[in-house]
Amino acid sequence: MPVEVVNGSQEFVGAGNYTRAMDDPLLWTALKNTAIILVVQVPVMLALAVGIAVALNSALLRGRALFRLGFFLPTVTGLVAYGIIFAVLLNTQYGLVNWLLSLVGIGDVPWLTDPLWAKISLGLALTWHYTGYNAVIFLARLQSLPTELYDAAAVDGASARQSFRHVTLPGLRPALLLTTVLSTIGTLQLFDEPYVLTGGGPDNATLTIGVYLYQNAFKYFDFGYASTVAYILTVLIGILGVVQFRLLGEKS
């Protein structure tokens, strides 16, 4: 913002906050962490969602309604609630996960206290929560695809892998665009999970743009700079959205 309140009076700062942002190492750390989640976790999550959707769409699967419910249930779990659940499960000393690992001879894993494992823990939590949501979107798209396409592919001698590559994936293109854009926006705005799980730590390993924005606004009360970070985030979302529409959108 070009105006800030200093000692009870308004002060014009111009582009000072944007200059400060360019030289802010914590902002670049937050951008890097968010980019890692976007590049690593989102593709893995969407790939799993496609596989689950294909499996749930198979006529060979019995009790499909029960499986669909099971995969979708994590989506309706509150963000803070499931963050707390994962924080308890992944506790280094008393967590259930480390206790189960100890039964097979694996020592305690520092899920939330080591920078690398903290990133992995955050990725696992996000994947658990959002995979089912994306799978439902893919499943809805799969059920709208004409079965004649698969029949024609079978008549032409296409294998199951070839049918998936040349029929299923092209048919999922609109759903892939939608889920990619939504996942990108959600990742860039990521706040609840890293804030509840690790608070952005350890050593800022899980500090995201959303957490950094919150810290500046409500921890340090630097609302002007927090607004600048928000504007930068908005521009990034817009740019990535345009790029994704160009790459995945239907060509005229």
Strand duo 3-6 + 9-12: pairing: antiparallel
Question: Dihedral, CA atoms, 45, 50, 51, 57, nearest 10 degrees?
Answer: 140
Averaged confidence pLDDT in the chain:
87
Query: How far apart (Å, rounded) are the C-alpha atoms in residues 164 and 142?
Result: 11
- The angle that helices 115-143 and 173-188 make with each other, rounded to 10 degrees, is 150
CA dist 50 and 59 (Å) reads 16
Give the angle 50-52-55 at the CA atoms, nearest 5°: 110
Handedness of CA 168, 174, 177, 182 (dihedral sign): negative
Phi, psi of 251 (to 5 degrees): -90, 140
**Sequence-distant (≥ 6) Cβ neighbours of residue 102 within 8 angstroms:** 108
168: left (phi over 0), alpha (psi -120 to 50) or beta: alpha
Residues in a beta bridge with 228: none
Question: Can you give the pLDDT of all 252 residues of the chain as single tens digits?
Answer: 555 555 556 666 667 888 888 999 999 999 999 999 999 999 999 999 999 999 888 877 777 778 888 888 888 888 888 889 999 999 888 889 999 999 998 888 999 999 999 999 999 999 999 999 999 999 999 988 888 888 788 887 878 888 888 888 888 999 999 999 999 999 999 999 999 999 998 899 999 999 999 999 999 888 889 999 999 999 999 999 888 888 877 653
Q: Which residues contact 135 (CB under 8 A, 6 or more apart)?
A: 48, 49, 50, 52, 53, 56, 71, 72
Identify the pLDDT of residue 180.
Answer: 92
Tokens encoding 138: 């893919």
State residue 5's pLDDT score: 56
Distance CA 200, CA 113 (A): 11
Q: Which two tokens stand for residue 157?
A: 């001698």
Task: Please tell me the predicted confidence (pLDDT) of residue 4.
Answer: 58
Amino acid sitting at position 220: Y
